[in-house]
Structure 1
């Protein structure tokens, strides 16, 4: 019940915008040839941005998934992502988290923004799973 309330509050106070921006970014990436490998990661992050409570970010390798997002190719893709998009997306989530930490009621939301910031730094090779 708490997760549902937190997700509804998150969605109302900005989660919808964050998720839509990640969806739009993924769609723009899908249009380009070079951005195509990042599209799935952006859309996974969009789902997490819409409704983050009750979910966690894990490495695809830890789940036994071996694909382009793991290993050396994934590292290269994450470096390119960090240079062209990740650092400023992460910075925006970090600034929002600092503002949320100021109020005691905003701490759970700040923690989710910090998770989104970490995810924005290197999204390739990560996935979002439901917490038990």
Structure 2
């Protein structure tokens, strides 16, 4: 439903030193209309050109400090509100590759009243601003 709004392509940037980036980050929105506790976000899968990046490399920050995906499992007091951008950062030596590439994000969400997880997916052709 809101899948096409998950990735904010204009927010993509490298992280770390300019001459030796250590990763990249982008803003993302939740693909569910009510907001969710962070412990209900089961997966945030990030890939570049169809190549999945390691789960351990992904961090999430809704504005209260970054968490690993494992830490999110027990973040019972934190919430991602609908429409609120959060920062997803990924450790990737050298940063986001030069040129245009397809950035993908899949969210696997546990919704309390649904007997199966909700999967939300977005992909955009992006390029790090020079």
Quickly name the TM-score band, shorter chain normalised.
under 0.3
Normalised to the residue count of structure 2, the TM-score between the two structures is: 0.27
Relative to its length, the structure with more helix (as a share) is 1
Greater percentage in strand = 2
* Structure having greater relative contact order (Cα 8 Å, sep ≥ 6): 2
Scaled by the length of structure 1, the TM-score of the pair is 0.26
